[in-house]
Structure 1
Amino acid sequence: MPWVAVLTLSCGCAGAAADDGRAPGAPTGVTARAGSATSVYVMWNAVAAGPAGPAISAYEVYRGTAKVGDVPGSAHMLDVVRLTPSTAYAFTVRARDTDGRLGPPSREVRATTPTAAAADRSAPTPPTGVTGRAAGSRAVQLSWSASTDDRAVVSYDVYQGAAEIHSVGGNQTATVVTGLRPGMRYSFTVRARDAADNVSPAGPPVRLTTAPGTGEGPDTAPVDFRARTHRAADGAYYIDLSWVAPRVDGVVTEYGVQLDGEPATSLVWGGTPPRGRAAYSFYAGRDAGVGHRVRLRARLPDGTWGAYSAERTVTTGDPS
């Protein structure tokens, strides 16, 4: 699907009402992926409440026009079960605030369940070598060794205590879990699942404590960040940025760009964000020889901001 970058200029305007009575916005970063032949994981980015507006109390997930589940506002995934093998499904998500107002549906996402394995009653082996580390005050990084199965591992399910909080594909053996609280101790386990919905025993638990305070860890920052300038045909200069999204628990659809120590722009993808390296250019004036410092950060799926990338220095008229 083509993607569209929507640029929002930062503004110090005052006088607007903090809560104008509008319903919540549509969730972004919605994805759907088969967890087995009879289940699909639907995940999305948290909808941020206004500075003084009502909080998000719940999310509603729809399969076509039928609501298939509610989850609390603190969660951003749902395991949709009792589906039919080898079938295509379409899903949308809506946010509801504490005043009961229901926002518009997200963009529609699709997933197809795989064919059920005949008479498959063998569960995968549990993941081994499970390790982790805190990634700042609100995230942890987990990794594990691949499980084996007589057919194939379709997904890995991540649990926080007894609650399933995330899922990744069967070819992935690491993830970053966000949306945690500073200075808290957590216990995580991982289970493997095959196409017949056989689930392995849990791998060994990993107990981690997030850092105190409100800062984000470096694992939540965009990586391999690069910056340079170019001159357009009309004589204006632009700063060209490129980066790789942080590997976090969900899809990143928004970035904040900081120029010379001040917020400059917000970059929002209106469609599916690019896979791998992303790129963006923005106006930097018409004078040559002007130096700038630039860096950016991602809005994480839980609605909080991640850590800033490394800072780069560029000079208009100098492409190096």
Structure 2
Amino acid sequence: MSRKRIALACAAVVVGAASVAVPVAANAGEDGGLGATCRITEQSTAWWASAEISVANKGDRPVRDWTARFELSQGQATIDNPWAYELRQDGKRVTVKPIADRADVAAGATRAVKVGINPAGKAIPKISGCKATGPDSGSGNGTGTDARVPADSGSFVKDHAAVHLMWKPPAGAADTDRYEVFQNGKRLKTVTGTMTDIEKLAPGTRYTFKVRTLRADGSTSGFSKDIVLTTHAAPGQDAAKPVIPADLEATASGPYQATLRWHPATDDVAVTGYRIYRNGTRVQEADAKADTATVSGLTPSTAYRFKVTAVDASGKESEPTREAGVTTAPAPGGGTGGGTGTGAPGDFTATTSTKQDGPVTQHYLNLAWSVPRNLGQITTYQVYLNGKPAQTFMWGTATPVLPVPTTKGTREVLVGSHPGTTYTVKIRARLGDGTWGAFSRELTVKTGG
């Protein structure tokens, strides 16, 4: 079957001194029940902008594997949810893909992806050439995945001569289905379960695997996405740790990011990647060819310490570089992301209301606030009543899962059945880097009589 196309309507809003909205790019369309929009959200500045990509599935089956692409006039793009999406930037070209099956688009649903853009004070960014493609399927020759083909589910390297492949069955799979496993394009085996070991491999060698469903009637599905694994070096072939990466430098890339640069490490066999630590905690990894990395989700006007290690094919980790310190820039305009303090919720209001619980009248505080901007995805807030923590709100964990607020948040707090009671109330947010932001302004409210 041919590759499906998702057309994206891509409109960017830029804000200058006079706050004039300027359209950057626009194109739209729909194919095979898939559609999408791409736009710049909130108020963009020369220090920070936010883009939102929304993929809509108007078909009758889930979409598992899709790719969104756009051209960025300048700056560095980052993803707000790196656990669910993979973002790659090659010059001005930016690609966003879901990781495994963590970002399926259900039938009749829309999935929004937030992308941060750091122009580092050079100019307000623009987006062009915005588009997306859906999965290949059906022919058995494609490398994409959708709901009708198996999906990788955490395959890993066991040692220098073996790997362990794991996959999820496609939608509608029957108990009688089997799976064909291919190694470097050649069929290797047929299995009945959804995992298998591949043994007698060469040490320190890169292999490409893929899986397809073999149905009881003899028909086959399309192939899974390629599963690429590199075996460890053989014992004795990789006796030494990698040499420490040299000359680590850290530079603030505006208020919310830092850019790290280092000289590549060496190893007696091969360096396979780098690990990046922030304030002593590992926060991300880079591939073997990298000599730079961008760490996002930071807080304005905050000091951070970074170090980097190298990892070789046998899993050995080098000693860390010397720590490189950096302090992020203040938020644009002297603010700190939407409130009166660093990461404080802004426009905080509190009113009272009542509800009947049988014969008892219960009193509530109705809270509303502006979500702190450009500090990563914020899913957790803490409410203080009369100076003490009273309740913690979390989005994205309940059933059904509620959408995480991105601009305005609201919640009600039950305070009891006593009328005429005065409370002081304030809230704070857990920011994208895991730290608590500053409190909102504190308000005084009184329940009704």
Q: Provide TM-score, normalisation by structure 2.
A: 0.29
Q: Provide TM-score, normalisation by structure 1.
A: 0.39
- Bigger radius of gyration, 1 or 2? 2
- Which of 1 and 2 has higher RCO (CA within 8 Å, sep 6+)? 1
